[in-house]
């Protein structure tokens, strides 16, 4: 591997969604060596407070996706929280994350993977303590854009929906909305292709369903317009293409790291590279 170096009501949308309209989000990055340990600095709200790192996972994943980054950053003396993203719709998912961030005394570095990037883009705009945004193979929508529209022209998710997803009804779903699970072949060959086959198969079996609504809810904010951002782009990502991520990173004015290879799950296969970018964001705002 080589290193190169924006308010919405708390209402769930009730319109009809079509399975064919669903596309996803995730994208780019660069291998970086593991970061060295540093002396702990004070926590809390003072001038010398170190940021709390809050990690938000994407679709077809859960908070355990961040296990490697939690371990690395915690050993450096940071408080790190990887919390559950409801995967219900962008408006309420972002409000859930914003409520958690507001409960933290002191600055926060907010990190999102895949659809989690859309969530942090909306959540951060509803808080006053997020000092940096880090996008990891993620979507960073502008106001009015949906996560599904940002996968890119050559994304694997542009195939017919019935070849990509198993669609399952769920209780109290909006009209026309179902939960989506990635089919095994897509998960192993397009979503997690750089992981050992058995590990990828285990992750497929334990994936969390994502409501169709998460991909089709327009973004109400674009926090990257006012909050500094970092972007990690994996060139091997077939879910959100590197080209789409680069477009989003450039318009946000993000500091970009490109990872040669990887997959949509580079955060699992190469956590040290991802942690290095998070660490750079922490340093810049500390």
pLDDT tens per residue, the chain (286 residues)? 333 443 433 434 434 444 334 433 333 333 333 333 343 344 444 445 799 999 999 999 999 999 999 999 999 999 999 999 999 999 999 999 999 999 999 999 999 999 999 999 999 999 999 999 999 999 999 999 999 999 999 999 999 999 999 999 999 999 999 999 999 999 999 999 999 999 999 999 999 999 999 999 999 999 999 999 999 999 999 999 999 999 999 999 999 999 999 999 999 999 999 999 999 999 999 8
pLDDT of 15 reads: 43
What CATH number corresponds to the domain at position 187? Answer: 3.40.50.1820
With respect to residue 11, please indicate whether it lies within any of the assigned structural domains.
no
Count of CB atoms within 10 A of residue 48's CB? 9
Residue 72 lies in a domain: yes
144 occurs within a structural domain? yes
C-alpha 88/C-alpha 147 separation (Å) is 13
Which residue is it, tokens 């969604």?
A: 17
Phi, psi of 233 (to 5 degrees): -120, 120
pLDDT of residue 49: 76
Q: Are strands 80-83 and 52-56 parallel, antiparallel or unpaired?
A: parallel
Q: Is residue 3 assigned to a domain?
A: no
pLDDT of residue 48: 58
- Structurally, the chain folds into a number of domains equal to 1
- Domain of residue 242: give its range: 50-285
Structure tokens of 31? 């291998």
CA dihedral 114, 235, 19, 59 (to 10 degrees): -20
Between CA 241 and CA 176 the distance in angstroms is 28
63/58 Cα distance (integer angstroms): 9
| Residue 161: inside a domain | yes
Structural domain contains residue 2: no
Judge whether 26 lies within some domain. no
Report yes or no on 40 lying in a domain: no
- Residue 145: φ, ψ to 5°: -80, 150
Written as one string, the DSSP assignment of the chain is: --EE-----S----S---GGG-----------PPPPP------SSSTTPPPEEEEE--TT--GGGGHHHHHHHHHTT--EEEE----S-HHHHHHHHHHHHHTSSS-EEEEEEEHHHHHHHHHGGG-S-EEEEEEEEE--PPTT--GGGGS-TT-GGGS-HHHHEEEE--TTPPTT--EEEE-HHHIIIIISTTS-HHHHHHHHHTPPPEETHHHHSPPS--GGGTS-EEEEEETT-SSS-HHHHHHHHHHHT-EEEEESS--TTHHHH-HHHHHHHHHHHHHHH-
**What pLDDT shows up at residue 20?**
38
Question: Which pLDDT belongs to residue 28?
Answer: 33
> How far from 102 is each of 42, 96, 223, 240, 279, CA to CA, in Å?
19, 10, 16, 30, 22
Q: What are phi and psi of 173, to 5 degrees?
A: -70, 150
Question: To the nearest 10°, the Cα dihedral for 219, 216, 90, 237?
Answer: -90
């Amino acid at each position: 591997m080589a290193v190169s170096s924006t308010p919405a009501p708390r209402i769930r949308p009730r319109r009809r969604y079509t399975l064919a309209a669903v596309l996803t989000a995730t994208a780019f990055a660069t291998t970086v060596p593991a970061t060295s340990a540093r002396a702990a600095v004070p926590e809390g709200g003072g001038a010398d407070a170190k940021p709390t790192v809050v990690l938000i996972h994407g679709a077809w994943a859960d908070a355990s996706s961040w296990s490697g980054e939690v371990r690395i950053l915690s050993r450096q003396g940071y408080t790190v929280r990887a919390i559950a993203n409801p995967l219900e719709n962008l408006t309420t998912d972002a409000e859930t994350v914003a409520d958690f961030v507001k409960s933290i005394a002191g600055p926060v570095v907010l990190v999102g993977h895949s659809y989690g990037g859309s969530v942090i883009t909306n959540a951060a705009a509803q808080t006053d303590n997020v000092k940096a945004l880090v996008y990891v193979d993620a979507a960073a929508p502008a106001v009015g854009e949906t996560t599904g529209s940002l996968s890119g022209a050559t994304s694997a998710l542009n195939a017919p929906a019935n070849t990509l997803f198993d669609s399952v009804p769920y209780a109290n779903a909006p009209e026309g909305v179902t939960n989506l699970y990635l089919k095994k072949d897509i998960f192993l060959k397009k979503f997690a292709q750089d992981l050992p086959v058995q590990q990828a198969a285990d992750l497929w079996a334990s994936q969390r369903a994502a409501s169709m609504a998460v991909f089709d809810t327009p973004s109400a904010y674009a926090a990257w317009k006012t909050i500094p951002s970092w972007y990690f782009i994996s060139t091997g990502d077939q879910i959100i293409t590197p080209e789409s991520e680069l477009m989003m990173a450039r318009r946000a004015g993000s500091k970009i790291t490109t990872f040669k290879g990887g997959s949509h799950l580079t955060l699992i296969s190469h956590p040290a590279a991802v942690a290095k970018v998070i660490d750079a964001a922490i340093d810049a705002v500390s």
